[in-house]
Each structure stands twice: as C-alpha cells, then as structure tokens.
Structure 1
C-alpha cells in the first residue's frame, strides 16, 4: 500500500511538472492533475491540500537535484573563475529542464509563508556554493557578491524564460561576462 501511494504521489508530481512547464500556473489545477494521472479529483486532494503544496513538494524533490548538478559542474573546475563560470552556466542550462520550468512557473506570491521560506532556504544553499570561489577571487564581501551573481543569473533565467530574441548561448555568454568582468564588457 505504501509503495502504491508513493508511486501515485510521484505520478502526480510528474504530471504537475508537465502541466506547469506546458501551460504555466493556470494549467496546474486539480482536475488537470486528476486527468493526467487517471485519478479521481477527490483522490488528488488525498495527496495534496493545495496547488501551493504541490509546488512546495516539487521544490523539495527537485531543488536538491538541481543543486547537485550545479555543484558537480563547479567541482569539475579548478580555478575560481572557472568555478564561477560553471555556477552560472549550469543554472542557465537547467532553464530548459521541465523540473526547473515547473517551479519557476508559479510565483512566490501564490505560496504560503512556509513554502516561500523553504524555497528561499533552498536558493540560499545554492548561493552558498559560490561564496568560497568569490573569496578566492579576492572579493571583500563574498556573500554579498554571491547574492549579486545570483541576481545576474536570475535575470538571465527570466530572459531565457521569456523566449528572448537572443540565442540561449548569447545570453549565457553575456551573463558569464557580466559576472566575471562586470560592466566593462
């Protein structure tokens, strides 16, 4: 019984990822989840109390996977500059991943305070990965620099999500250049 329940929960999360990445926030409804999984609508409520609960669990399940991918990309590099570049590029490569697109699709304003705090903490752990590389580069305030680097990454993510006129590689190159060289170009 527990295994069946676990499989149903995983199917619901997978359906939620698909719905969010295909149609954004509006597409994530309990009737749509029920239709995608073959469950009765009332059964969906047995697993999740709200859309926010679905998104919160997606973050809990998917964020550690993303963080591990970013960490692995950084660990493959030796120099601090290359670690910083890997940090930026790995996150931007994840933009096309439906796990990432699903969570980005729902704004934090739709989540309760507890869910927003969990997401903030998860992002904080991601930002913490780059602090030592920035310290090695000589930043006097590496934690502040890490937050600003993440701001550039977030802006590049939004640009990619909007389907900007620039190719994704151009956006990634510009973000890396901005992070490593600032506005000097």
Structure 2
C-alpha cells in the first residue's frame, strides 16, 4: 500500500511538472492533475491539501537536482572565472531542458508564504555555490555580488522563457559577459 501511494504521488508530481512546463502555474489545477493521472479529483486531495503543497513538494524534489547539475558544471572548472561562467551557463542550459522547465515556472509563480520561503531557500543554496569563486575574483562583498549575479541570471532565464528574439546561446554569452565584465563588456 505504501509503495502504491508513493507511485501515485510520483505520478502526480510528474503531471504537475508537465502542466507547469506547458502552461505555467495557471495550468496547475487539481482537475488537471486528476485528468493527467487518471485519479478522481477528490483523490488528488488525499495526496496534497492545496496547489501550494504540490509546488512545495516540487521545490523539495526538483531544486536539489537543479542545484546538483549547476554544482557539477562548476566543479569541472579550474579558475574562478570558469566557475562563474559554468554557474551562469548551466542554469541557462537547464532552462532549455524540458525536465527543468517546471522549476522556472515555479519560480515565476504567485505562491503562498511557505512555498515562497522554500524557493528563497533553494535560491540561497544556488547563490552560496558561487560566493567563493567571486571572493577568489577579488569581490569585497562576495555574498552581495553572488545575489546580484543570480539576479542577472534570473533576468536571462526570463528572457529565454519568453522566447526572446535572441537565440538562447546569445543570451547566455551576453549574460556571462555582463557577470564577468559588467556593462563595459
């Protein structure tokens, strides 16, 4: 019975990922989850008390995967600048990967305080990854610089998600240049 519940919960989370990546947070509804999984709508409530609870669980499951992929990309670099570039590039590549589009949709959504706190904590984990590289580059306030870098990355993510006129590779290159060299290019 526990295994069946676990499988149903996983199916609901997979359906939530699909709905989020296809239609954003507006598409994530209990009737849509029920339809995607073949469950009765009332059964969805047995697994999650609210839409925010679905989002919170997705944060707990998906953000660590995102973070580990960014971390792995950074570990492959020897220089601080290389680590910063890998940090930026990995996040922008993950946006283009359908498996991770739900993370972007979650980040952009209107959520309750609990879900927003989980997202803040997850972003804090991302920001912490780059602090040492920025300190090694000579930033006097590496934590602040890391938060600002993540803000630039978040803006680039939104640009990619909106289907901007620029190719995603162009957005990534411009973002990396902005992060490493500022507005002087």
Count of residue correspondences: 185
Q: Deviations over 1:109-149 (max 9, x none)?
A: 63221221111011101100000000000101100110110
| Structure 2 unpaired stretches of 5+ | none
Higher mean displacement: 128-137 or 25-34: 25-34
Q: Tell me the TM-score normalised to structure 2 length.
A: 0.96
**Structure 1 residue 107: deviation in Å?**
5.9
| Structure 1 unpaired stretches of 5+ | none
The question of whether the paired residues in 1 share the 8 Å contact of 2:13 and 2:58 is answered with yes
**Structure 1 residue 103: deviation in Å?**
3.2
CA, structure 1 residues 150+174, in 2 after alignment: closer, same or farther (shift >3 Å)?
A: same
Q: Secondary structure at the match of 2:78?
A: coil
The question of whether the paired residues in 2 share the 8 Å contact of 1:67 and 1:126 is answered with yes
The question of whether the paired residues in 2 share the 8 Å contact of 1:17 and 1:98 is answered with no
Map of 1:136 onto structure 2: 136
The question of whether the paired residues in 2 share the 8 Å contact of 1:30 and 1:41 is answered with yes
* Cα distance in 2, alignment partners of residues 82 and 37 from structure 1: 43
* Cα distance in 2, alignment partners of residues 106 and 88 from structure 1: 19
Q: Deviations over 1:30-70 (max 9, x none)?
A: 11111111111100000011111111111100000000000
Q: Tell me the TM-score normalised to structure 1 length.
A: 0.96
* Cα distance in 2, alignment partners of residues 154 and 163 from structure 1: 14
Report the aligned-residue RMSD: 1.2
